[in-house]
Amino acid sequence: MSEHDQVQQPLLQETAYESDEKVHIVGVDSDENLDSGTKTPPFSWRKLWLFTGPGFLMSIAFLDPGNLEGDLQSGAIAGYSLLWLLLWATAMGLLVQLLSARLGVATGRHLAELCREEYPSWARLVLWVMAELALIGADIQEVIGSAIAIKILSNGVVPLWAGVIITASDCFVFLFLENYGVRKLEAVFAVLIATMAVSFAWMFGETKPDGMELLLGVLIPKLSSKTIRQGVGVVGCVIMPHNVFLHSALVQSRDVDHRKKGRVQEALRYYSIESTIALIISFIINLFVTTVFAKAFYGTELANSIGLVNAGQYLQNKYGGGVFPILYIWGIGLLAAGQSSTITGTYAGQFIMGGFLNLRLKKWLRALITRSFAIVPTMIVALVFDTSEDTLDVLNAWLNVLQSVQIPFAVIPLLCLVSKEELMGTFKIGPVLKMVSWLVAALVIVINGYLLVDFFSKEVNSVPFASVVSIFTAAYVSFISYLIFRGISFTSWLYPQKQVVVIA
């Protein structure tokens, strides 16, 4: 390949956002004395406001219907005892998401693009398939959750399959708003998050959970053999594989001059602040849901039978109508969670497909392709579930396993890439942060491994099925080992030296 081709090649590559789509940050062209590129501009509340957005979109994955179901089951079965675990799981999720943002800001490319360049064709294909499977699993849960909310709010008039169609079409309506600018779309998500906060805070006020028990649950670690499965679920559903890919792309919606180290450092500072604020809000919302069901159903016979479908009705039966029936408050919060998470799922699908395959398709076309992957199986599930409520519990168990399996294929490449000086320049993570990050990754992988072993030990009841599971397990462990080994043995010649110059 000629030098001319190497220079022109980036112009042909897929990008998360075109230059005219990015938000211009006030002050980028001012402060001429900082243009040497080494000094970080002073803090500005106005700039923080302009950088605010990607972190809140990222935080929606912590509030999707799958998380809400984990919250209500944790509260109903374990009471207030797992709130400390919810806090620390959110903190671990924040660490992973900050590393994702760091990768996207420092390199100007997102995780799927970098995986395409880092790994050979066969490994790249496996990573892409795994990311798509994780996204489809999350998407099914989110669409079904939204469809359940629509059924609740319509008093059962709209069946689940119709709710699935409405949810799928709504995604394109919301994505249409992107034509009016990234900030407009982010404003829609802000409204949806606010709707969740108000709805679940209202439920919190209606049920009046015990404040002292809540505080003790957050501060004092407690885990018993009876609650360990719920504890594993709390941690397992926090780190979503598609969300790791998503955040590294969302941060590129701001116009940052990567030739100046100070500007990159400035962007990282603002993104860290807004992501932390966003996840604090998501933690509070999850805390509301957990404590409401802890107060209402902990220690009761109904505790083990509560799910997304009957949760609102159980609350209604216990607390009555009130000023506004609690059933509909639950339905509104669940609808906001489902709608917002399905849109971010569509967003993530665009970046994952475009990054891994280097497709320069129109966004609506990529959204249509991504959405089609999930809608067909979701419609089948909705039709079956309309006649059998037990089907949803079985489905959720399998979908949780599917997403747990995928976590290493997002987190390990992220940690390997964000540690490489040849790629990150001066923004690579240091030894202490690297050690902490790998410990968190190992903990999450082990916890999800426990979930998988527990699940398959109950499901594997025949020799042929056990043989298939064993073969897939061996291949799974081998590929994870390959990813780790490749990260360790990664050498500088894989990346052109000019990338270090651009960053530094």
Q: What is the pLDDT of residue 250?
A: 92
Q: Which run of H or E residues covers position 111?
A: helix 111-118
State mean pLDDT over 44-50.
Answer: 90
164-173, 262-271, 457-466: which range is least confident on average?
457-466
Using CB atoms within 10 Å of the CB of residue 139, give its burial: 0 to 12 exposed, 13 to 18 middle, 19+ buried: buried
State mean pLDDT over 132-137.
Answer: 85
- Looking at residue 347, its amino acid is Y
**Over 224-277, what HEC string results?**
CCCCHHHHHHHHHCCCCHHHHHHHHHHHHHECCCCCCHHHHHHHHHHHHHHHHH
Alpha-helix runs per DSSP H in 157-181: 160-176
Nearest Cα to Cα of residue 87 among 341, 337, 284: 284
Q: What pLDDT band is residue 374 in, cutting at 50, 70 and 90?
A: low
Q: What is the pLDDT of residue 5?
A: 43
Confidence (pTM) = 0.86
| Residue 108 backbone dihedrals phi, psi, to 5 degrees | 75, 10
Q: Which position has the token pair 């799928």?
A: 168
Percentage above 90 pLDDT, the chain: 27
First to last CA, the chain: 27
The answer on pLDDT for 342 being more than 90 is: no
Using CB atoms within 10 Å of the CB of residue 314, give its burial: 0 to 12 exposed, 13 to 18 middle, 19+ buried: buried
Q: Which run of H or E residues covers position 83?
A: helix 83-107
Q: What is the sign, positive or negative, of the torsion defined by CA atoms of 422, 427, 433, 438?
A: negative
Q: Are 132 and 373 in contact (CB under 8 A)?
A: yes
232-246, 318-332, 454-468: which range is least confident on average?
454-468
State mean pLDDT over 217-223.
Answer: 87
Q: Which position has the token pair 């219907």?
A: 65
Q: What is the pLDDT of residue 363?
A: 67
The answer on pLDDT for 288 being more than 70 is: yes
Average pLDDT over the chain reads 81
State mean pLDDT over 146-155.
Answer: 90
Q: Kindly provide the b/e burial profile for residues 103-119, where b requires at least 16 CB atoms within 10 angstroms of the residue's own CB.
A: bbbbbbbbbbbbbbebb
